Amino acid sequence: MCGIFGCILKEGNAAPLIHSSLKRLEYRGYDSVGIATISDGKIFMKKDQGKIDEVHKILNLDDLPGNLGIGHTRWATHGAPLKVNSHPHTDCTGEIMVVHNGIVENFMELKAELQNLGHTFVSKTDTEVIPHLIEETLKNNPKLSFVSAIQESIKRLEGSYALAIISSRDPDKIICARNESPLVLGINGKGVFCASDIPAFLPITNKAVMINNGELVILTAQGYEIKKISDSTPITREPITIEWTAEMAVKQGYPHFMIKEIHEQPETLRNTLRMQDHYLDLLTTFLDRANEVFLVACGTSYHACLAASYMFSKLAFLPTYPVYASEFVEQHGKSVNIDSTILAVSQSGETADTLAAVTCAQQRAATILGLTNVIGSTLTRISRVYIGTQAGPEIGVAATKTFTSQLSVLAQLALKLSKKRGKISQDEMDCLEENLKKMPEDVETIVRTQEEKIKQIAHKYKDSKVFFYLGRGISTATAYEGRLKLMEIAYIPSIAFPAGESKHGPISLVENGFPVVFICPRDDSHKTLIGNIMEMKARGAHIISVIEEGDEEIKALSEEYIEVPKGIPSVLSPIPFVVPLQLLAYYTALEKGLDPDMPRNLAKSVTVK
Ligand code: M6R
């Protein structure tokens, strides 16, 4: 999730404006920054790794000539956060400059093809194929205009992109295009602007033109022209007036980052599911060879590990040990060895407990694999192989979109390993892959259809003194995560455990009106879970169930029910089933007048042991 910005001013230099606009997009990533401008038909460019202020101090980003330019603030996905991977990226001639937000899924094929044709690549990014592709298209069709060459080139891209492109070959234009990554134009009497997001230009103008998927935009000092990438059909779209304040704009109109991030999950899941097979294959090979596998993490990331232990066991017959990172050294520090493999999972990649566990295992020659949302974090530097979760920066202290992204990577790994080991039938594999693919849609449906109902449930139960969260099998992990969310942002003491354990002690707490949240996918444990619900009901508990649509049996036993779409396989169920629990925690915190983005005593990244 990077930030792009471009502008053509009627008067004055573009670079200072691009710089200040990128600052307002820094919440989208800050691994590196770069600006390219055109003056007198010549290209000028500055870029480096580091936060915008750091780079500006050294390079003076404002000191670039020309009234037209583009800029980028990066959140690394392909390639480490280094200068060489910073945007803008260019072709062999240095005449074409591209900034990009998104993921070009087929970049490896394109890169190989272009390298065979003699193109030289300098970075590890997916983006760099774009300027080379445009260069090659122009070489093969010298009569083509620069705009048409871009249009033809991007037709070959698979994946997501918001692009802003400039060139000394056509020095008075910025050409933009969009597929699945956000892009918006800003207009005022002084110039035209393109950006990933409205906050970038809000202090300059509140007149915006939204760009849709499959559209190409030509910006000139005179204005903008939109057309379809596929067949050049012109599109007329008038600016709308944005009423947001600058703070609202950063949150895209949502009152809090947490709810914005909950709503972003269809998009972040889509991005994560676009993961390059190559990385998954590599990690799968290590897991396949491992003698013993520890899944090590803290908090929400630990819950992803717990769910993953069921996925690996059920799909690939691989036993794994989920371990709280803070306990790893005490529990396994002496026995971990050269034959052990550690898969460390951490949103930030900087959690001290996780890094301590990893360091201990590394000193004893174990293989370290990493799964993190932050490329360039310590975890990526100390892992033998790592995968990025592609969720974009998560600002809310409560992890939401990174949890579902972690789960979707772990599910993909389990499926790959299962395939490699030939453990499940082709039909089952097809069904699981199909279901994983439609997960973004399912999450979209849940948020769209259940949010209002969840608000009412939050209102009704906001004064409860304690909650239970129960599930069986993999849903135990979902229950743990739902309970952590409620505790950390709504400050309601909550208890989660496998539903079968309730009769071994915790049930003594239950009295009239006691809220018990049951996670109820329609899996092999459904019947037994109904028994557990009955036990709770018999003691006066109020059942709040998360059920599959049309699960009349559990519906009839519940005071409240929240529905998720039908037919979700059990091993994938934590992804959709956790979403209502995130919403329940969020709305309960609001009901109690709390700020869900800033829960007391907590920090986004816990860098102390
Ligand atoms: O960055 P990490 O995933 O390593 O962080 C682990 C925990 O600190 C984190 O999940 C924490 O529990 C969150 N507040 C959960 O919402």
- 460, 581: one domain: yes
Q: Ligand 1 within 6 A of 378 CB?
A: no
Tell me the pLDDT tens digit for each residue of 97-106: 999 999 899 9
Mean pLDDT along residues 271-297: 92
**Distance from the alpha carbon of residue 267 to the mean position of ligand 1, in angstroms:** 21
Instruction: Determine the pLDDT at residue 432.
Output: 96
Asked if residue 180 and residue 206 are part of one domain, the reply reads yes
Cα pseudo-dihedral 345, 349, 350, 355, rounded to 10: 50
Query: How many domains does the chain divide into?
Result: 3
442 assigned to some structural domain: no
pLDDT at 173: 98
> What are the pLDDT digits (tens) for 31-75?
899 999 999 999 999 999 998 999 999 999 999 999 999 999 998
Based on the domain organization, do 293 and 427 belong to the same domain?
Answer: yes
- Asked if the structure places residue 214 within a domain, the reply is yes
601: pLDDT confidence band, cut at 50, 70 and 90?
confident
- Residue 604 within a domain: no
Q: CB of 326 closer than 6 A to ligand 1?
A: no
Can you tell me the mean pLDDT for 468-492? 97
The reported pLDDT for the residue numbered 78 is: 80
Question: Is residue 64 domain-shared with residue 186, that is, in the same domain?
Answer: yes
Whole-number Å distance, alpha carbon 517 to ligand 1 midpoint, is 22
> Residue for token digits 């600016």?
239
Tell me, yes or no, if 604 is annotated catalytic. Answer: yes
**Can you tell me the mean pLDDT for 370-385?**
90
Whether 66 is in a domain gets the answer yes
289 in any annotated domain:
yes
Question: Domain containing 54 — which CATH number?
Answer: 3.60.20.10
Phi, psi dihedral angles at 597 (to 5 degrees): -80, -20
| Probe target for ligand 1 pocket from 258, 295, 298, 383, with the most ligand atoms within 8 Å of CB | 298
Tell which of 250, 276, 302 closes a domain. 250
Residue range of the domain that includes 478: 448-599
Is the domain of 337 the same as that of 309?
A: yes
Angle at 250 between CA 245 and CA 251, to 5 degrees: 95
Shared-domain flag, residues 292 and 229: no
Select from 101, 42, 41, 50 the least CA-distant residue to 71. 101
299 within ligand 1 shell (Cβ under 6 A): yes
Q: Is 23 a catalytic residue?
A: no
For residue range 491-500, list pLDDT tens digits in order. 999 999 999 9
Q: Does residue 38 belong to any structural domain of this protein?
A: yes
Residue 267 covered by a domain: yes
Mutation to probe ligand 1, out of 256, 295, 348, 607 (largest number of atoms < 8 A from CB): 348
Residues 241 and 261 in one domain: no
Asked if residue 181 and residue 283 are part of one domain, the reply reads no
**pLDDT (0 to 100) of residue 395:** 87
Q: Is 399 in the pocket of ligand 1 (CB under 6 A)?
A: yes
Distance CA 148, CA 221 (A): 19
Residues 11 and 73 in one domain: yes
Say yes or no: 501 and 540 in one domain: yes
Give the pLDDT of residue 182: 85
Give the closest residue (by CA) to ligand 1 atom 8.
299
Whether 187 and 283 share a structural domain: no
Average pLDDT, the chain: 94
Single residue among 217, 250, 283 that ends a domain in this structure: 250
Residue whose CA lies nearest to ligand 1 atom number 16: 398
**16 alpha carbon – ligand 1 mean position (Å):** 37
Out of 380, 606, 607, 608, mutate this one to test ligand 1's pocket (max ligand atoms within 8 Å of CB): namely: 606
Pick the range with the lowest mean pLDDT from 40-49, 209-218, 505-514, 543-552.
Answer: 505-514
pTM: 0.80
Average pLDDT, integer, range 228-242: 94
> CB of 354 closer than 6 A to ligand 1?
yes
In the listed set 228, 250, 272, which residue is the last one of a domain according to the structure? 250
Residue 423 has pLDDT above 70, yes or no: yes
Ligand 1 atom 11, closest CA: 299
Residue 580 contacts residue 469 (beta carbons within 8 Å): no
State pLDDT tens for residues 109-158: 999 999 999 999 999 999 999 999 999 999 999 999 999 999 999 999 99
Each residue's pLDDT tens digit, 159-191: 989 999 999 999 999 999 999 888 999 999 999
Ligand 1 mean position to 266 CA, how many Å?
A: 21
Residue 609 located in a structural domain: no
- Element holding 49 (H helix, E strand): strand 42-49
Q: Which domain CATH number covers 530?
A: 3.40.50.10490
Q: Is the minimum distance from the CB of 398 to ligand 1 under 6 angstroms?
A: yes
| 378, 462: one domain | no
User: Does the pLDDT of residue 548 top 80, yes or no?
Assistant: yes
In the sheet with 292-297, reading across from the earlier edge strand, the strands are 320-324, 292-297, 340-346, 367-372, 385-388
pLDDT in tens, 436-473: 999 999 999 999 999 999 999 999 999 999 999 999 99
How far apart CA 215 and CA 193 sit, in angstroms, is 16
The answer to whether 79 and 121 are in contact (CB under 8 A) is no
